Amino acid sequence: MPDANGRGDVVLDVEDLRAYFFTRWGVVKAVDGVSFQLRRGETLGIVGESGSGKSVTSLSMMRLVPSPPGQIVGGRVMLDGEDVLRYSEGQMEKIRGAKIAMVLQDPMTALNPVFNIDSQVGEALRIHKRLSGSALKSQVVDMLRKVRIPAPEARVRDYPHQFSGGMRQRVVGAIGISCDPVVLIADEPTTSLDATVQAQYLRLLKDLQDETGVAIIFITHDFGIVAKMCDRVAVMYAGRIVEQGDVRQIFNNPSHPYTEALINSVPRMEERNDRLYSIPGQPPPLWDLPGGCSFAPRCEYAHERCVEYPPVYELAGGQTSACWLRSG
């Protein structure tokens, strides 16, 4: 059933997901107890600094963590009611691209330079929908038309280097949606795009979501994109989600000091400041995390209780925060 905001049933339920890398420096807890839900037709933004665990979370859900040294050591990833962490590799090959798909950050490395666009967009359709011949060609052209590539009948014969960065990103998007997945993971897909093309691409993703009902996980470090794209936000730091909530809740009333610091780091054009705000210090190395709250060494509100890691507190409107300041 739809929720109060008109979104559909839960299609993805991640519970206590843990992915560690076993290295010579020690155990890197890249994802350390991540939990969230995603509803049909909803967009969840996962934000945080580089190294916070956003991309490894997405790779873990797809069962693509490189092993060795990576290993998923715990948790559940319930996709349409089934735990994909219990699937065999053969079973995962049947749902990657079909039920859960991913748009990677750099389209030039995601696309193979020696194959034309026809063969790359058509690969998932051949594997999952068993299309071939004229039916396959027609569907590939239709996918390119959906992502608004001009003259798709002619461009299918081109190679990735013959497309601009924005057009390559659209091709990667066409591959992602080609088999009508229920969940689409977009891992910083606009990082390499200029502002104008970025806005066009975000609008395209929204239109595709309205048309298909796909649930989107949007991984980014840009709160401006979060404000445009997302219904809810999960803020990650040092491998854990420190705050979750509705976009308006997060922007209007951030409940975790790290979220507050991230929002304060966004320049405001209407304000004149001699110096832009920046978060002091650096994220901790994940193989040598401090005891207690990982953000405490950089937090202006840190106090003696922060030597223990806080529980996750439930706040009004479904907002959650892992911070001792919410204990009272």
Percent of the chain with pLDDT over 90: 60
Is the confidence at residue 240, as pLDDT, over 70? yes
**How far, in Å, CA of 319 to CA of 315, rounded?**
5
Q: To which residue do tokens 């009508």 refer?
A: 180
Sign of CA dihedral 281, 282, 283, 286: negative
Q: Would you state the CATH architecture of domain 10-238?
A: 3-Layer(aba) Sandwich (3.40)
Q: Kindly report, residue by residue over 81-129, the tens digit of the pLDDT.
A: 999 999 999 999 999 989 999 988 777 788 999 999 999 999 999 999 9
For residue 110, which amino acid is it?
A
Q: Kindly report, residue by residue over 171-204, the tens digit of the pLDDT.
A: 988 898 888 899 999 988 877 677 777 788 888 8
> First CA to last CA across the chain, in angstroms?
35
pTM (2 d.p.) = 0.89
What DSSP designation does 327 have? Answer: -
